[in-house]
């Protein structure tokens, strides 16, 4: 079965608008945040219209309804990524908060001088800055895996770092948000475990696009966001193996995360509530559940196949443009994005001119400054990112738009 893209597009009301007179929206910025289908918007509206109250402990109908919806969404997420237990799904605000939770809880409890954490040069700031902050305090060492010329992770360098010893954690993006590089996380987890290290995956760009099975990957901790996978903003997920989460101290203190509080101290609630202090994003959790239903209904295999087809088409078409440089690896090691520069125009100029044609792309360093400045030695790139509602006709419009940029700067 393949996706009926025109039917899918009908599910996304926001797509059907002109952003400038005569210029229908061509939304190629889903890697930053995806659009929302009617099914998710309706789930939020239904929740607020019929079911809202605070979750847990409320002894009334609405609180039970809210708790039920909140917890059912957790079950959906568990099934979606094939986690072994529902307690292994922690609601957070987004991938960034999940990463900070990992670093502040697991990292603070387990890392000290002499220890090594392995990251890579392709990481998003969310998987760089929290580690750097803690390293400045604790004195552990961060090693960055470089890239190969083909823009894939240098596995030999990773293996060499692991052989040097003292590695406690390997924390890597599953899919690069700039290049779309898909890292072999399963193989990496096996290597890390052999070396006695845990594996942490940043799944923000992976979960929306492909079937992710955390048990098959055998990662120890894994983070992703709802808003990049058709869900609302304000809801993210931290997956962790139960034994690891159990051993981790709480991240934030407050209501919901305790089992008993006295004036002399407190004891912690069980998983997953130990990590969910305060009133959570209930409607947003319901929303991510609706997003999971939506994506599962279409089939992640079909969504992945459509994404691969679009990326391949985009790369072929963009490669025809004289002078254009692409920053993506070859198939099959890429997903979701086409990232490029032009010799005659700065990334911001390109994005601005494309916007005047109704085409939404992103320009800048995409929260991966080290990759741009210290690896590619460029200030910025322009990134077109694709999702299940994009079409090859939209890629053609992108290409036409780029030729308009070239014309404007070469007159």
- Residues that bind another protein in the complex, under the rule CB under 8 A: 345-349, 352-353, 356, 363-365, 369, 372-373, 379-380, 408-409, 411
Choose between 134 and 353: whose C-beta lies nearer to another protein.
353
CB of 408 to another protein, least distance (A): 6
Choose between 258 and 399: whose C-beta lies nearer to another protein.
399
Instruction: State how far the Cα of 47 lies from the Cα of 92, in Å rounded to an integer.
Output: 19
In the annotation, is 367 catalytic? yes
Choose between 349 and 396: whose C-beta lies nearer to another protein.
349
Instruction: State how far the Cα of 277 lies from the Cα of 126, in Å rounded to an integer.
Output: 21
Choose between 334 and 362: whose C-beta lies nearer to another protein.
362
CB of 33 to another protein, least distance (A): 16
- Identify whether the C-beta of residue 315 lies closer than 8 Å to the C-beta of residue 309: no
Provide DSSP, 120-147. ETT--GGGTHHHHHHHHHH--EEEEE-B
Distances (CA, A) of 129 to 125, 134, 188: 6, 9, 22
Query: Active site residue: 25, 155, 367, 399, which one?
Result: 367
Instruction: State how far the Cα of 161 lies from the Cα of 228, in Å rounded to an integer.
Output: 32
Q: Closest Cα to residue 276, out of 246, 296, 256?
A: 256
The secondary element (H helix, E strand) that includes residue 341 is strand 337-341
377 DSSP β-pair partners: none
The secondary element (H helix, E strand) that includes residue 393 is helix 392-409
CB atoms within 10 A of CB 137: 10
CB of 366 to another protein, least distance (A): 11
CB of 362 to another protein, least distance (A): 11
Choose between 244 and 367: whose C-beta lies nearer to another protein.
367
CB of 19 to another protein, least distance (A): 13
Q: Closest Cα to residue 335, out of 212, 169, 238, 245?
A: 212
Which residues are known catalytic residues? 367
């Amino acid at each position: 079965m393949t996706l009926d893209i025109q039917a899918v597009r009908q599910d996304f009301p926001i797509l059907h608008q002109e952003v400038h007179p005569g210029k229908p929206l061509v939304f190629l910025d889903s890697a930053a945040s995806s659009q929302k289908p009617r099914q998710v918007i309706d789930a939020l509206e239904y929740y607020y219209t019929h079911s809202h109250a605070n979750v847990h402990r409320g002894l009334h109908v609405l609180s039970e309804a809210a708790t039920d919806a909140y917890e059912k969404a957790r079950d959906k997420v568990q099934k979606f990524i094939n986690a072994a237990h529902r307690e292994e799904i922690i609601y957070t605000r987004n991938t960034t908060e999940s990463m900070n939770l990992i670093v502040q809880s697991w990292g603070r409890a387990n890392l000290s001088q002499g220890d090594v954490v392995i990251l890579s040069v392709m990481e998003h700031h969310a998987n760089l800055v929290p580690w750097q902050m803690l390293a400045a305090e604790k004195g552990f060492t961060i090693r960055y895996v470089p890239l190969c010329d083909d823009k894939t992770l240098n596995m030999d360098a990773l293996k060499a770092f692991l052989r040097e010893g003292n590695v406690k954690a390997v924390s890597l993006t599953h899919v690069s948000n700039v290049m779309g590089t898909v890292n072999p996380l399963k193989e990496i987890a096996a290597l890390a475990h052999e070396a006695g290290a845990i594996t942490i995956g940043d799944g923000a760009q992976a979960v929306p696009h492909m079937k992710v099975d955390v048990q098959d990957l055998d990662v120890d901790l894994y983070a992703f966001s709802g808003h990049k996978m058709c869900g609302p903003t304000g809801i993210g997920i931290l997956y962790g193996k139960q034994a690891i989460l159990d051993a981790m101290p709480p991240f934030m203190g407050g209501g919901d995360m305790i089992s008993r509080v006295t004036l002399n101290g407190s004891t912690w609630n069980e998983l997953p509530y130990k990590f969910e202090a305060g009133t959570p994003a209930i409607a947003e959790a319901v929303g991510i559940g609706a997003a999971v239903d939506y994506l599962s209904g279409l089939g992640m295999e079909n969504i992945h196949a459509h994404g691969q087809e679009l990326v391949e088409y985009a790369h072929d078409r963009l490669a025809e443009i004289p002078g254009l440089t692409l920053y993506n690896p070859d198939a099959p090691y890429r997903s979701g994005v086409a990232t490029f520069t032009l010799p005659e125009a700065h990334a911001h100029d390109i994005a601005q001119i494309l916007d005047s044609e109704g085409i939404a792309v992103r320009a800048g360093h995409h929260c991966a400054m080290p990759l741009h400045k210290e690896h590619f030695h460029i200030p910025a790139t322009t990134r077109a990112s694709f999702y299940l509602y994009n079409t090859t006709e939209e890629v053609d419009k992108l290409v036409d738009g780029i030729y308009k940029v070239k014309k404007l700067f070469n007159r």
